[in-house]
Amino acid sequence: EPAIRFEHVRKEYPAVRGRAGAAVDDLTLEVRPHEVLVLVGPSGCGKSTTLRMANRLVEPTSGRILLEGEDVTHVDPVQLRRRIGYVIQDVGLFPHRTVAQNIATVPRLLGWDAKRTAARVDELLDLVGLDPARYARRYPHELSGGERQRVGVARALATDPPVLLMDEPFGAVDPVGRRRLQTEFARIQREVGTTVMLVTHDIDEAVRMGDRVAVLSTGAHVEQLASPLDVVAR
Ligand code: ADP
Ligand code: ADP
DSSP string, the chain: --SEEEEEEEE--GGGTTS---SEEEEEEEE-TT-EEEEE-STTSSHHHHHHHHTTSS--SEEEEEETTEEGGGS-HHHHHHHEEEEETTTT--TTS-HHHHHTHHHHHTT--HHHHHHHHHHHHHHTT--HHHHTT--GGGS-HHHHHHHHHHHHTTT--SEEEEESTTTTS-HHHHHHHHHHHHHHHHHH--EEEEE-S-HHHHHHH-SEEEEEE--SSGGGTTEEEEEEE-
Could you report the per-residue pLDDT of 1-60, keeping only the tens digit for each?
Answer: 899 999 999 999 886 555 557 888 889 999 999 999 999 888 888 999 999 999 999 999
Q: Is the CB of 137 under 6 A from ligand 2?
A: yes
Q: Which ligand is nearest to the CA of 138?
A: 2
Residues 6 or more apart whose Cβ sits within 8 Å of residue 124: 103, 154, 155, 157, 158
Using a cut of 0.95, tell me whether the model's pTM lies above it.
no
Residue to substitute in 9, 10, 13 for testing ligand 1 pocket (most ligand atoms within 8 angstroms of CB): 13
Q: Which ligand is nearest to the CA of 155?
A: 2
pLDDT at 226 over 50: no
Please answer whether residues 212 and 196 qualify as being in contact, where contact means their C-beta atoms are separated by less than 8 angstroms: no
User: In this structure, which residue's CA is closest to atom 27 in ligand 1?
Assistant: 13
Q: Is the CB of 116 under 6 A from ligand 2?
A: no
pLDDT at 225 over 70: no
Q: Is the CB of 104 under 6 A from ligand 2?
A: yes
User: In this structure, which residue's CA is closest to atom 24 in ligand 1?
Assistant: 13
Lowest mean pLDDT: which of 37-41, 165-169, 171-175?
171-175
